Amino acid sequence: MNLRIATWNMAYPFYKSYHKDAWDYLLNEIDADIILFQEARPTAYLNEDDKHLVWNEIGDNRSWGSGIYSQKYELKEETIKSDFKGVFSIANTTIGVIDLTLISIYGLIENNGPNKGFAITNLHRILSDLTGLFCGRINGKRNIILGGDLNASLQIDQKQKGESHKIFFERLEDFGLKDAFKKLNKPYPLQTLRHSKSKVKWQNDYFFLSEQISNRIVDCAVIENESIRRYSDHNPVVMTIEL
Judge whether 195 is annotated as a binding position. Answer: no
Judge whether 57 is annotated as a binding position. Answer: no
Cα(122)–Cα(110) distance, integer angstroms: 8
Cα(49)–Cα(177) distance, integer angstroms: 30
* Alpha helices for 63-198 (secondary structure H): 120-129, 131-134, 154-157, 164-174, 180-183
Closest CA to 152 of 122, 182, 132: 122
194 phi/psi in degrees, rounded to 5? -110, 95
Judge whether 157 is annotated as a binding position. Answer: no
Query: Quick count: other Cβ atoms within 10 Å of Cβ 68?
Result: 27
- Give the up-direction half-sphere exposure of residue 128: CA atoms within 13 A in the CB hemisphere: 9
Cα(19)–Cα(231) distance, integer angstroms: 7
Residues in the chain: 243
**Under 8 Å CB-to-CB from 214, ≥6 apart: which residues?**
178, 180, 183
Judge whether 149 is annotated as a binding position. Answer: yes
Which residues does the annotation place in the binding site for Mg(2+)? 9, 39, 149, 151, 233-234
Which residues does the annotation place in the binding site? 9, 39, 149, 151, 233-234
